[in-house]
Amino acid sequence: MDVDPDASATYSLNFPEAQSLVGDIRKKSVKQRLLHAAAQGDVVVGGPPCQAFSQVRNHARLIDDPRNSLYREFVKAVREVVPRAFVMENVPGLEQMGVKEQVLEDLRLGGMYRVEAQVLDAADFGIPQTRRRIVFIGIHDSLDRDPPQLRGTGATQAITLARRNGIRPVHYDIEAGGDEWLTRLADPLDPALVTAEQAISDLVALCAGRREDELPTAELPEPLSAYQAAMRDAAGDSIGNTSVPRINEDTVLRLRGIPAGGNHRDLPGELLHRYLTGQRWGQDAGNGVLSRRHYYAYRRLFPGMWSWTLNTKADSVYHYESPRALSVREFARLQSFPDRFRFTTDVRKGELPGRIDGGAAHSRYRQVGNAVPPLLARAIAAALAPVIARACD
């Protein structure tokens, strides 16, 4: 279920056989529908926001803070449904802010569940994007099994992107703890380590300002990596979400001054002026230079490395070759959504309960950016499957 009608529309489009619930779980009627639907489930999965990290300072309980009402509802749902297992995903800040032990205690439900937490990086599981998340896995004590430990490649600890600023212009190189890592990273047939180029190079012909949101698969080149072949499997006659945002002239100039893998730190002084071509855009602070809030936007992918962490905005990363933003489809590729998966919005226009302002295009980027990468979800499910299968024997 989801409170956002646009996200629910996307789910219903891609999983027409499933039951999709839209609404706020804090409302009694919505909660009853959810608990009824979940009553026969083996696993409860959720990612409730947990905002009140600072409560640790005054010794209040995390679950009692009113800002964490959705987290509290997740714990209540587990208590009422009593699944064989559950999975709760969240940001790793939970661990950094010292509340992990509180969460573990809450989720154990007085000893009903055995619970462990793991910090996972999506890039260690064949996803072309670094994305760290903390995952809590609980197993009902009656199964007499401890939660499974997920084992990725460990590549994110062994491979880094290093900035070089010497005789040559600023550029970026890959550093690795052994040649075998570099060999694997460069191998387009290795599905466990995937780079940005291996993920989206077959879509390089998309251009800034492209309005068409469909691309016939017949117009695509042959897959250039095992990952591309897997993403395009069963896509049909066309792939969707291929429109590309327009880009202003100032941004084009800045991107041409940033090497692949770089960001605003690599801009020469003359490209830090607020306006370069006279074209006016955004709010002007009046000091003639870019404000700090713009800096995150000027980040270019490095073709031979996985992507930065995507957020909910189209300008969170730019293409490694062309001076442009990415399409929603390229966002989806970097998140490991297959091409057959389409992102859409509720057909109703205007304000709707749970809908976030910004328009349909922004909604699609936000849906991708907020998602758990499917390949990471599959890895978690694969680890849980033997536990659940044994309980069902």
Is there a single domain that holds both residue 278 and residue 199?
Answer: yes
Query: pTM of the predicted model, to two decimals?
Result: 0.93
> DSSP states of 32-85 as a string?
HHHHHHHTT-SEEEE------GGGGGGT--GGG-GGGHHHHHHHHHHHHH--SE
Q: What is the mean pLDDT of residues 346-351?
A: 94
Does residue 59 belong to any structural domain of this protein? yes
- pLDDT surpasses 70 at 285: no
Cα–Cα distance measured from residue 271 to residue 275, given in angstroms and rounded to the nearest whole number: 9
Does residue 163 belong to any structural domain of this protein? no
Cα–Cα distance measured from residue 211 to residue 246, given in angstroms and rounded to the nearest whole number: 9
pLDDT band, very low/low/confident/very high, at 55 (cuts 50, 70, 90): very low
CA distances from 393 to 139, 356, 382, 386, 388 (A): 16, 45, 17, 11, 9
CB 208, CB 323: distance < 8 Å: yes
Q: What three-state secondary structure class fits 161? A: strand
Does residue 346 belong to any structural domain of this protein? yes
Q: What is the CATH number of the domain that holds 114?
A: 3.40.50.150
Name the one residue in this structure whose structure tokens are 């250039």: 224
State residue 297's pLDDT score. Answer: 78
- pLDDT surpasses 80 at 294: no
Is there a single domain that holds both residue 273 and residue 350?
Answer: yes
Q: Pairing relation of β-strands 238-240 and 214-216?
A: antiparallel
- What's the burial of 44, exposed, middle or buried (CB within 10 Å: 0-12/13-18/19+)? buried
Is there a single domain that holds both residue 84 and residue 199?
Answer: no
Q: What is the mean pLDDT of residues 287-304?
A: 81
Give the start-end residues of each E strand in the chain.
Answer: 43-46, 85-90, 113-121, 132-140, 159-164, 171-176, 214-216, 238-240
Q: What is the mean pLDDT of residues 14-21?
A: 93
Is there a single domain that holds both residue 111 and residue 72?
Answer: yes
pLDDT digits over 218-230, tens only?
999 999 999 999 9
Is there a single domain that holds both residue 282 and residue 317?
Answer: yes
β-bridge mates for residue 164, sequence order:
171
State residue 92's pLDDT score. Answer: 86
Half-sphere exposure in the Cβ direction for 208 (13 Å, CA): 15
Is there a single domain that holds both residue 203 and residue 98?
Answer: no
Is there a single domain that holds both residue 212 and residue 352?
Answer: yes
Is there a single domain that holds both residue 340 and residue 200?
Answer: yes
Cα–Cα distance measured from residue 327 to residue 348, given in angstroms and rounded to the nearest whole number: 23
- Domain count along the chain: 2
State residue 50's pLDDT score. Answer: 67
User: 358: phi > 0 → left, psi -120 to 50 → alpha, else beta; which?
Assistant: left
State residue 54's pLDDT score. Answer: 47
Catalytic site residue from 50, 85, 231, 376: 50
pLDDT digits over 168-212, tens only?
789 999 999 999 999 999 999 999 999 999 999 999 999 999 999
Q: What is the mean pLDDT of residues 79-107?
A: 89
State residue 14's pLDDT score. Answer: 97
Q: What three-state secondary structure class fits 137? A: strand
- pLDDT surpasses 80 at 66: no
Is there a single domain that holds both residue 66 and residue 210?
Answer: no
Share of the chain above pLDDT 90, in %: 77
Does residue 157 belong to any structural domain of this protein? no
Q: Which residue has the higher pLDDT, 387 or 392?
A: 387
Does residue 365 belong to any structural domain of this protein? no
50 given a catalytic annotation: yes
- pLDDT surpasses 90 at 53: no
Is there a single domain that holds both residue 206 and residue 352?
Answer: yes
Does residue 156 belong to any structural domain of this protein? no
- pLDDT surpasses 90 at 284: no
State residue 217's pLDDT score. Answer: 97
Q: What is the CATH number of the domain that holds 233?
A: 3.90.120
Is there a single domain that holds both residue 379 and residue 350?
Answer: no
Cα–Cα distance measured from residue 36 to residue 244, given in angstroms and rounded to the nearest whole number: 41
Does residue 152 belong to any structural domain of this protein? no
Domain that residue 128 falls in: 5-143+374-392
Does residue 165 belong to any structural domain of this protein? no
Is there a single domain that holds both residue 325 and residue 382?
Answer: no
